[in-house]
Amino acid sequence: MLYLADEKRYASMKYNRCGRSGLKLPAISLGLWHNFGTMDKYENMREMIRTAFDLGITHFDLANNYGPIPGSAEENFGKMLADDLKPYRDELIISSKAGYTMWPGPYGDWGSKKYLISSLDQSLKRMGLDYVDIFYSHRFDPDTPLEETMEALAQIVRQGKALYVGISNYTAEQTREADRILKELGIKCLIHQPRYSMFERWIEDGLQDVLTEKGIGSIAFCPLAQGLLTNKYINGVPEDSRAGKAWEISLNSDSITADKIEKVKKLDKIAKQRNQSLAQMSLAWTLRGGKVTSALIGASKSSQIIENVHALDNLEFTVEELEAIEKILKG
């Protein structure tokens, strides 16, 4: 059946300017890290993408190695672009990345020009695109000169394979240096993608200051701590959850400690007082103060996307609420 996007898709979504650029991103973006690979049902993926776009989510975040298997998320997204979203391409922000292991041998990992440009060429082919809107260096490479990695990003923009470039998982000082090199090459560092949530706050120790100073936007991945900052794990590990999947290595039952669950239960009480789910409050907390441009969510079903977007209905915190949250997190 022909897909027609909801005519009211822009009515309630909030869009934030990305640093000092002309680009705005939705406050909630959708990441395809999990649940879009070969082990997942295509019709469910398709429904999630349609639901997200109908809610005003215009930014879809991928990487070369997303799946599993690596590359399969981009292949599946390419099918959905062809089947549903092709008429809306100019309304979309599509991003990809390279920096983690993708193929064997010395040219399939890290940050060399050889790897980054080859990888993007493969990503474009998998998705059936002429260009991506944002391309990232997925992680800092300690063995490749940063000048080479940034020159690769600059070359990608000059070749028209990406409109903007960014970095992910770089420290504050690495970010400052990357920005300096890109500016010398005449290219803007648009955005940084760090891991950030109530349970992982390293970006507050210097990185956010650098991003503000340099006019670089930010999009936080894992703002729900891969599901920990929801009510999913309060009563144990569900078999169909991410932590319950045998192949999942980034989150497992050993990561879900009694201390964290106790904090989650206390945070959930504050969320209920705000008439929000814990997931909604956690996203609102990530976006508090305007320092984060967009919160990058994952989902396994459309209802989760709908719930998360409603976080935007209440983004304000009282001083008392923030103090209570801090007390729980430090306890």
The structural domains of the chain, ordered by start, are 15-233+280-316 (3.20.20.100)
Q: What pLDDT score was predicted for residue 270? A: 98
Per-residue pLDDT of 247-302, as tens digits, reads 344 555 567 888 999 999 999 999 999 999 999 999 999 999 999 999 999 999 99
User: 298: Cβ–Cβ under 8 A, 6 or more apart, which residues?
Assistant: 30, 31, 32, 33, 34, 35, 224, 226
Pairing status of strand 294-297 against strand 93-98: unpaired
Which sign does the torsion angle of CA 134, 139, 142, 144 carry?
Answer: negative
The predicted pLDDT at position 41 comes to 96
- Helices 42-54 and 72-80, interaxial angle, to 10°? 60
pLDDT at 196: 98
Q: Are 282 and 321 in contact (CB under 8 A)?
A: no
The pLDDT of residue 236 is: 64
pLDDT at residue number 285: 98
Look at residue 292 in the predicted model and tell me its pLDDT.
Answer: 98
Residue ranges of the chain whose pLDDT lies below 50: 244-249
pLDDT at 233: 85
Q: Is 139 left (phi over 0), alpha (psi -120 to 50) or beta?
A: beta
pLDDT of residue 246: 45
The number of beta carbons lying within 10 Å of the beta carbon of residue 249 is 7
pLDDT of 254: 62
State in Å, rounded, how far the first CA of the chain is from the last one: 53
Q: Which are the contacts of 196, defined by CB distance < 8 A and separation ≥ 6?
A: 202, 203, 218, 220, 221, 222, 223, 286, 292
Q: Which of 68, 67, 301, 291 is nearest to 201 (CA)?
A: 291
CB atoms within 10 A of CB 239: 8
Q: What pLDDT was estimated at residue 256?
A: 83
Is residue 319 within 8 A of residue 53, CB to CB? The reply is no
